[in-house]
Amino acid sequence: MNNARPCVLAACAAAFLQFGCELAPTAPVSFDSSADVSIAAVTPQQALGRLLFFDKNLSLNNNQSCATCHDPKWGFTGPDPMINAHGAVYEGSIAGAFGDRKPPSSAYAGESPILYFDGTGWVGGSFWDGRATGWTLGDPLAEQAKGPFLNPMEQALPDMATLVALVAASTYADTFDAVCPDSDTPERYNCIGRAIAAYERSAESSAFSSKFDASLKGKARLTGQEQLGYNLFLNKAKCALCHPAPLFTDYTYDNLGMPSNPENPAYVADPSFRDPGLGGFLRAAGYSEDVWGIELGKFKVPTLRNVDRRLSKSSIKAYGHNGYFKSLKEIVHFYNTRDVGSWPIPETLANMNDTELGNLGLTVAEESAIVAFLKTLSDGYVK
Ligand code: HEC
Ligand code: HEC
């Protein structure tokens, strides 16, 4: 967290006024359905966004949609337990093309403000390094959504004209024309980005339907262990300093000192690979070294909503920007014992946060209680 943090809810309110995004969902849409939800239940813009999100034809080899790496049944992150167990980086549309990061959840990312410096640190933006800043479209999430289609490591289309032509020739061309009537290609491309962002902010994607949410409405009760976990999360374990409810992130950046993932394809190709995170983006954006140097190795605080959500309890999910951690138990143990246990050296030693984690003094039972609490954040809770 930053010392002088902005009020997250105020940021949400500002974002709401600016972009009309939803903090609390309105339309009650059934959540657990990647292809069978009635699109009549959402606005035309959200419906278009949904169609785009799941359309594999919008990739070079017709083999990859956003959902390939952001599967709803996995909390909108990577759905392949084998990949998660190893490098945690997903192959793009082109065989053998890999990026160097683990997919974060694409849900609940709609309240992140336009990237700005608040006096002590950077806040907002989209991606692990904030590079979809929101500075051009006024909305980081819509800017983010334009990226994957043309990224050679992802859907790998050659240019925006190809993307727009594919959508215009799709089975949902009518919806596209209705939502994006402008004939100008860059405008239609922006409109595609905004539609996907609208879907990601919809009640289907950001559902607020977890046991935790039900407990806030008095419709469920956390068990004693889950409640203990939440108390620890708020106090002794310090988690809420960076992961405050209701979105479980404050959109700031930190270097937790997590180790490199030796199976990350970028690391395999070059063992001296160190992901520069926010500092790398700021350097590329032309800031001076005194600005980017202190941000090297920092990554955006991710939401914890749906962190445990997966197809089956025994399937492996990966955690952290490089997917080093393979279970919630492991990452909680890391927060507790980074400075007193035997962990490999940090990926980036510079700029490491050494005040808010590392030696929390949690007992084994307390670690387990925090994990039990994190599991209450999975959407689709039914009694
Ligand atoms: C090949 C896998 C892959 C595909 C396909 C893909 N993504 Fe991602 N997504 C990622 C990875 C990896 C990241 C993190 C990249 C980074 O931070 O540099 C990411 C980041 C994101 C984020 C940022 C979340 C946050 O909190 O910062 C959003 C939102 C997102 N993707 C949505 C989408 C959408 C929309 C599409 C389709 C247009 C898409 N993704 C296609 C892998 C993928
Ligand atoms: C100082 C701020 C800070 C504190 C305190 C903090 N976190 Fe985090 N958390 C982060 C950041 C930043 C990341 C991403 C780091 C990275 O990938 O390098 C993260 C990542 C995570 C992830 C991985 C999520 C994913 O989708 O990959 C989990 C789970 C998590 N934190 C849980 C916790 C818990 C539980 C606590 C309390 C024990 C906690 N955090 C305390 C900042 C913090």
Q: 245-289, pLDDT tens digit by residue?
A: 999 999 999 999 999 999 999 999 999 999 999 999 999 999 999
pLDDT band at 21 (very low <50, low <70, confident <90, very high): very low
Question: Does residue 316 surpass a pLDDT of 90?
Answer: yes
What pTM was computed for the model? 0.91
The separation between CA 348 and the C-alpha centre of its own chain, rounded to angstroms, equals: 21
- 172-210 pLDDT, tens per residue? 999 999 999 998 999 999 999 999 999 999 999 999 999
- 328-358 pLDDT, tens per residue? 999 999 999 999 989 999 999 999 999 999 9
From the CA of 51, the nearest ligand is: 1
Mean pLDDT, the chain, rounded, equals: 90
Q: Atom 43 of ligand 1 has which residue's CA nearest to it?
A: 69
Q: Residue 368 is inside which H or E element, if any? A: helix 364-374
Q: Atom 3 of ligand 2 has which residue's CA nearest to it?
A: 242
CA of 323, closest atom in ligand 2 = 27
Q: Cβ distance 119 to 4 under 8 Å?
A: yes
pLDDT band at 42 (very low <50, low <70, confident <90, very high): confident
Q: Atom 41 of ligand 1 has which residue's CA nearest to it?
A: 66
CA of 91, closest atom in ligand 1 = 1
141 in the Ramachandran plot: left (φ > 0), alpha (ψ -120 to 50) or beta?
A: alpha
- 363-378 pLDDT, tens per residue? 999 999 999 999 999 9
Res 383: pLDDT: 80
Res 2: pLDDT: 62
**In the chain, which residues fall in CATH 1.10.760.10?**
8-201, 211-377
Give residue ranges with CB within 6 A of ligand 1. Answer: 53, 64, 66, 68-70, 90, 92, 99, 101, 103-104, 106, 109, 126-129, 141, 144-145, 148-149, 154-155, 196, 300
Q: Cβ distance 87 to 101 under 8 Å?
A: no
Res 1: pLDDT: 67
The sign one gets for the Cα dihedral 150, 155, 157, 160 is negative
In this prediction, residues 88-106 reach a mean pLDDT of 96
Assign 196 to helix, strand or coil.
helix
From the CA of 52, the nearest ligand is: 1
CA of 109 to the centre of ligand 1 (A): 11
CA of 321, closest atom in ligand 2 = 17
% of the chain residues with pLDDT over 70: 89
Fold of 211-377: Cytochrome Bc1 Complex; Chain D, domain 2 (1.10.760)
**What would be the CATH architecture of the domain defined by 8-201?**
Orthogonal Bundle (1.10)
> Which positions ≥6 away from 183 have C-beta within 8 Å?
none
Q: Cβ distance 151 to 37 under 8 Å?
A: no
From the CA of 257, the nearest ligand is: 2
Res 157: pLDDT: 96
